[in-house]
Structure 1
Amino acid sequence: MTTDLDPLLTVERLRVSFPGKGWRAPRTEVLKGVDLHIRAGETLGLVGESGSGKTTIGRAVLGLVPVDSGGITFDGRPIEHAGRAERRALSREIQVVFQDPYSSLNPSRTVGDTLCEPLLAQGMKGSRARDRVVGLLDQVRLPKDTAARLPREFSGGQRQRVAIARALALGPRLVVCDEPVSALDLTTQATVLDLLLDIQQQTGVSYLFVSHDLSVVRRMSHRVAVIHHGDIVETGDAATVTTRPRHPYTKTLLLSAPVADVDEQRRRREQRTSLTRVAAG
């Protein structure tokens, strides 16, 4: 059992590769020895461009991709090669919220059935599970009658709240948030982010928050890790990394963030172009 000072999750020298395309094609190394940790009640923002390997880290933690080498430790237990039975037990403590709230929900099942499923699978009685569903819907600020409706009857933001409720059903200690607001409009993004922050304050849950957006990561995270081509290139306090980055790649990400001021946007574009040329040369 971890103490308050020990990391809840530790990833050490993690390497993951995928088969190449075509016969005899060499494997493609996606993660090249990644190290990171998350403490209880903490959010680690993991930021990088598409293809950087950030989602693969989350999937490795969840046991959805095989690990070539390195270790993943949760609450002092190695889990990088956990079997099916152990993964089922771990689902009480590690959950996930995916990017697309509609594809992650069964369109033919009511919200109530979707939320009851993990509770019943863990042996909870039906009446108690239904009571738990009412509490979950209240926790994510959805009305009670949501349980009797289908996912298609809701907006994207409401569906993502249902997905969050499902992730919280078993009272996990860690939730992997894989681009949870990137498919939502800006107003809805803000609402969902505020909800996640409130839930963390109420429950003490930890988040591995995966995103390509530094502004979102700044809002959500205590610490930030920046990943580029399968390597962590910068880690530190969220305010520092997202406003005064050291690594050229992090600076490029920061300059890529859109701003309302046209002149400032032009200045950022010129700086980004200059940094890219320096990195290439």
Structure 2
Amino acid sequence: MTVPLLEVDDLRVEYPGKGFRARPTEVLHGVSLALAEGETLGIVGESGSGKTTIGRAVLGLVAAAGGSIRFRGEEITHLSARQRRRLSRDIQVVFQDPYTSLNPSLTIGDILSEPLVAQGATRRDARARVTALLDQVGLPADAAARLPREFSGGQRQRVAIARALAPEPRLIVCDEPVSALDLTTQALVLDLLTDIQRRTGVAYLFVSHDLAVVRHVSHRVAVVYRGDIVETGSARDVTMSPEHPYTQQLLLAAPVADPVEQERRRSERLRVLEISRVQDEQAGAIT
């Protein structure tokens, strides 16, 4: 039996409450998912649903209050800082904002070579790897001598992707990697991610609030609502024919260019919202 690249089992995460002696707030209530080698799993939900917290827990940026996270069969839920640094060779991240995720005082070459040198590469090998990385993400070789402020948002995100690819990871956590970009640039970056996956076999845990974006890059999708995964399945099934009312709301909330269709979707969304409200009231009455 093939061991999944990433396994999350009954993951719970709590954040401290506000105020003196306030009880912590549980934001993930037992989330379970699995990701295979070379696969993209889209995690979708609205702001505050807990989707980003899943990615942060995998990266070790937030502590798990319960459950387990395994990478290639190895338990990584409570690794030390030193062990996490070792694991960073295999797990990397692309953050949401390309404007703040890059050090403005370093050249692109230094930004890309820094993690390589930290992991033992020579300066000469690092420079050669930087040249290859820039070519891989569609940037010219002379970009290495320039500063981040000299690039557009889409180009900066390409640099961020190159930085994540530098140690040749097996998994990249993509935290809303295109939400700060315009639609045309979004499509270019998504196509780049797909092409890189095809050539390298890297897996993506792709976090987004946009079903259309998730459908474009994902093999499977998990929908997160109030700290729980409420629907999973193939990208086509979940984004085209969702079964859960919350997923239906997400789909109907996406704007379309046709005014008549947009009005129909708005009416349908209100109907689904009412059904969801009634179900929530009934569930509350039972408990």
Same fold (TM over 0.5): yes
Residue in structure 2 matched with residue 262 of structure 1 by the alignment: 259
Counterpart residue identity of residue 246, structure 2: Y
Residue in structure 2 matched with residue 38 of structure 1 by the alignment: 35
1:157 aligns with 2:154: yes
Q: How does 1:55-94 map to 2 (within 5 A)?
A: 55-94=52-91
Distance in 2 between residues matched to 1:173 and 1:103, nearest whole Å: 25
For structure 1, which runs of at least 5 residues remain unmatched after alignment?
A: none
1:106 aligns with 2:92: no
Q: How does 1:156-195 map to 2 (within 5 A)?
A: 156-195=153-192
Residue in structure 2 matched with residue 123 of structure 1 by the alignment: 120
Counterpart residue identity of residue 62, structure 2: V
The C-alpha deviation readout for 1:57-116, integer Å capped at 9, x for no partner, is 000000000110000000110001011111011000000000001111000100000001
Distance in 1 between residues matched to 2:98 and 2:78, nearest whole Å: 28
TM-score, scaled to structure 1: 0.98
Residue in structure 1 matched with residue 282 of structure 2 by the alignment: none
SS at structure 2 position matched to 1:31: strand
Distance in 2 between residues matched to 1:272 and 1:211, nearest whole Å: 20
Residue in structure 1 matched with residue 92 of structure 2 by the alignment: 95
How far residue 6 of structure 1 moved from its aligned partner, in angstroms, is: 2.3
How far residue 201 of structure 1 moved from its aligned partner, in angstroms, is: 0.2
The C-alpha deviation readout for 1:12-54, integer Å capped at 9, x for no partner, is 0000010111112221111000000100000000000000000
Distance in 2 between residues matched to 1:185 and 1:53, nearest whole Å: 25
1:10 aligns with 2:10: no
Distance in 1 between residues matched to 2:3 and 2:254, nearest whole Å: 34
1:213 aligned residue (192, 210, 214): 210
Aligned length: 278
Counterpart residue identity of residue 78, structure 1: E
Residue in structure 1 matched with residue 284 of structure 2 by the alignment: none
The C-alpha deviation readout for 1:181-216, integer Å capped at 9, x for no partner, is 000000000000000000000000000000000000
Counterpart residue identity of residue 256, structure 1: A
Residue in structure 1 matched with residue 247 of structure 2 by the alignment: 250
Counterpart residue identity of residue 60, structure 2: G
Residue in structure 1 matched with residue 21 of structure 2 by the alignment: 24
Distance in 2 between residues matched to 1:107 and 1:265, nearest whole Å: 42
Aligned sequence identity (%): 68
Counterpart residue identity of residue 114, structure 1: I
Distance in 2 between residues matched to 1:168 and 1:33, nearest whole Å: 31
1:233 aligned residue (230, 244, 255): 230
Counterpart residue identity of residue 132, structure 1: R
Counterpart residue identity of residue 43, structure 2: L
Distance in 2 between residues matched to 1:265 and 1:208, nearest whole Å: 31
SS at structure 2 position matched to 1:120: helix
Residue in structure 2 matched with residue 224 of structure 1 by the alignment: 221
Distance in 2 between residues matched to 1:23 and 1:258, nearest whole Å: 43
SS at structure 1 position matched to 2:32: strand
CA RMSD of superposed structures (Å): 0.7
TM-score, scaled to structure 2: 0.96
Counterpart residue identity of residue 117, structure 1: E
Distance in 2 between residues matched to 1:51 and 1:210, nearest whole Å: 13
Counterpart residue identity of residue 7, structure 2: T
Counterpart residue identity of residue 231, structure 1: D
Distance in 1 between residues matched to 2:22 and 2:255, nearest whole Å: 39
